[in-house]
Structure 1
Amino acid sequence: MDITAFNHFCQSLPATTYVVQWGGAHVWKVGGKVFALGGVGEDNQTWFTFKTSDQNYCFLESHVGYRPAPYFASRGMKWIQQFAASDAQDEELTYYLLQSYKTVALGLSKRKRMELGIVDFVES
């Protein structure tokens, strides 16, 4: 997945916002909370960072092409970074991005989810 496809997928999710910050990272939020980041490193390699469940974190942290996310994981947060991935892993990445979105959205208050119109989407 390239950065354009990443941004397109994240934009397709309801009630998302986008900003470029932290040294050029493409940052996606729902309800003001970050659920995904993407960028291109100095080596021209794309990377994507997302929040995971405890179970997925344990699986992915030792999976080829994934690592605990710099900054986030060092602070005890369950965030993973995909790097050096092949196009064959695009479907896998979209799954994890969607799960990250839902996890972060479920952390919002029910009232906020209702205001954003995402209750049914997130709870399905």
Structure 2
Amino acid sequence: MTRKQANGLTAAQLDALCRRWPGVTRDTKWGVDMVLSVGGKMFAVMPSDGSEGGRLSFKVADERFLELTDQPGIIPAPYLARAHWISITEPQRFATAELTAFVLDAYVLIRAKLTKKLQAELGPLPTLKVDKK
């Protein structure tokens, strides 16, 4: 029996995922956008009310920006593209596990830019559990 792969990521799922990570804060900006930050620096943004098709925006490594924005359903994030942020306009096209891995990568990238002292205070980096079924 094979399990159906879960797709997409809701604002509630994103909040529950990131809330467990050290130093993450949640704020609402620009009306309804849930903004997740670490050390006061944003790493992911998503409409908290599910509008805009559940668009999910986050920071990516500089070397992955062009590769990812060449894929269907992914565009350079408006206003943040120059900082190498992407926007997944159709999150249902992507596996939930893939989206959570992208968000964790964004968290790690932003956290790495914090002072060494603050990074040490936050403790070890979080990891994602891999389902082996």
Which of the five TM-score ranges fits, normalised by the shorter chain? 0.7 to 0.9
**Which of structures 1 and 2 has the larger relative contact order (alpha carbons within 8 angstroms, sep 6+)?**
2
One-letter code aligned to 2:106 = S
> How many aligned positions are there?
116
Unpaired segments ≥5 residues, structure 1: none
Of residues 97, 120, 123, the one that matches 1:114 is: 120
- For residues 90-122 of structure 1, the C-alpha deviation after alignment (integer angstroms, 9 at most, x for no partner) is 11111110000000000001011123x23x317
Residue 88 of structure 1, CA deviation: 4.6
Structure with higher Rg: it is 2
What does residue 5 of structure 2 align with? none
> Per the alignment, in what secondary structure is the counterpart of residue 13 of structure 2?
helix
Structure (1/2) with the larger helix percentage = 1
Q: TM-score, length-normalised on structure 1?
A: 0.85
Structure (1/2) with the larger strand percentage = 1
One-letter code aligned to 1:91 = A
- Is 1:97 matched with 2:106? no
What does residue 28 of structure 1 align with? 36
The whole-number CA distance in structure 2 between the counterparts of 1:97 and 1:55 is 16
Residue 33 of structure 1, CA deviation: 0.6
- Is 1:46 matched with 2:54? yes
Of residues 23, 26, 34, the one that matches 1:18 is: 26
One-letter code aligned to 1:92 = E
The whole-number CA distance in structure 2 between the counterparts of 1:87 and 1:14 is 29
Q: TM-score, length-normalised on structure 2?
A: 0.80
One-letter code aligned to 1:19 = D
Which runs of 4 or more aligned residues in structure 1 lie more than 2 Å from their structure 2 counterparts after TM superposition?
Answer: none
- For residues 46-97 of structure 1, the C-alpha deviation after alignment (integer angstroms, 9 at most, x for no partner) is 0111100122211111111111001101xx2100011212265211111110
> Per the alignment, in what secondary structure is the counterpart of residue 55 of structure 2?
strand
Give aligned-pair identity as a percent: 28
CA contact (8 A) 2:111 2:119 kept: yes
Of residues 78, 83, 87, the one that matches 1:77 is: 83
